[in-house]
Amino acid sequence: MEDDNGTYEYSKITQSGTIRLILLHPSDDLEAGLICSLIDARLQECDDDVVEHYIAISYVWGKAVENKSVLVDGKYLEITASLDQALRHVRDPSRILRIWADGICINQGDVQDRNTQVAIMDSIYATARHTIIFLGPSYSEHELFLQKMEALSLSRESSDKQADSGSPQGMLEYPWFGRVWILQELALSPDPRVQIGRVRVRWNHFSKMIEGEAVTVQSLSTRRKLFHEMCQIRGKLQGRMYMGAESEFKITILDVLQARRGLGVTDPKDMIYAHLGISESQLKSHITIDYSKSKAQVYEETARYI
């Protein structure tokens, strides 16, 4: 591809229910530059298997001062260093991958595009074939642990044996576990995977191991409590998705805000917006995602609803 050193410019999405997907070019070299294309896709067609499915990525944005560049359709687009790392580690060595990642698939410089796309993020994660939770680049102790967990799952060992294997220190200290958006991304994904470096395991194996550990002083930490609540909410939401109207599980925005209290957010409005997709359905008709609103306006709207 010819490099003309230009800056990528987004085309507007004009049809409702349409998202952008990354076509990530293959490479087996972790250091090779990221090259991709962007296409528009209808969510309904992805859900109906009319078009090829995609993978969603859940990651931490990181610091804006450490931004990198990706080549999109021959033009440069600035992305966070954390997304750069996630794409490098997820990239397939031989085939193009269809990926959804908010740092590229949403025009972050266009408030209207952010409003429209963030409003359907619940459907984006629910429709993805699976979500890759990228915790970070290779860290030998944790990567080795995931490899052992993967081997146990492939050998069909009992879940008790997996839990007994124990996890290394700091497994829940990755910044991802303190991010406000992860609950919706995790809870609505039909088949999430956890990845460190290039090692990837299914969420259900990972969560069973963490949840199955003996309770210690460390187990009573804020992160451990948040993790437990995440697992409970995901289980109930997945049950509600299968049961539909027959499900007895209800979760209100007040329940979620109380459970998620203390998490840090870059934009305070996201404490509300990040949980609309997993709260009671009628909430969306009362609160419209609009990043041009002030924090006070968003919280006043929420308080009136509650």
Number of other CB atoms surrounding residue 279 within 10 Å = 21
Q: Which residues of the chain have pLDDT under 50?
A: 1-2, 158-159, 162-163, 214-215, 217-219, 246
DSSP letter for 7, please: B
Give helix then strand counts, H and E, for the chain.
14, 9
Selection from 245, 252, 226, 227 nearest residue 305 by Cα: 252
Beta-carbon contacts of 93 under 8 Å, excluding residues fewer than 6 positions away, are: 26, 27, 28
Dig out the tokens for 41 from the structure.
């896709």
Q: What is the pLDDT of residue 5?
A: 66
Dig out the tokens for 148 from the structure.
């052992």
Q: Beta strands 18-24 and 97-100: pairing type?
A: antiparallel
Q: Which residue matches tokens 């997945």?
A: 238
Instruction: Quick: pLDDT tens for 224-245.
Output: 888 888 888 888 888 776 666 5
Q: Which residue matches tokens 């187990």?
A: 219
Number of other CB atoms surrounding residue 35 within 10 Å = 17
- Phi-psi category of 170—alpha, beta or left, where left has phi over 0 and alpha has psi -120 to 50? left
Q: Which helix (H) or strand (E) holds 118?
A: helix 111-118
Q: What is the pLDDT of residue 150?
A: 75
Q: What is the pLDDT of residue 186?
A: 94
| Cα–Cα distances in angstroms (integers) from residue 116 to residues 19, 107, 113, 212, 277, in the given order | 10, 10, 5, 40, 14
Q: Is 293 helix (H, G, I), strand (E, B) or coil?
A: coil
What whole-number distance in Å separates Cα of residue 6 and Cα of residue 205?
44
84: Cα separation from own chain's centroid: 15
Q: What is the pLDDT of residue 142?
A: 82
Q: What is the pLDDT of residue 262?
A: 67
Dig out the tokens for 283 from the structure.
């909430």
Strand partners, 201: 194
Q: Is 271 helix (H, G, I), strand (E, B) or coil?
A: helix
Quickly list H helices, 178-221.
182-188, 203-212
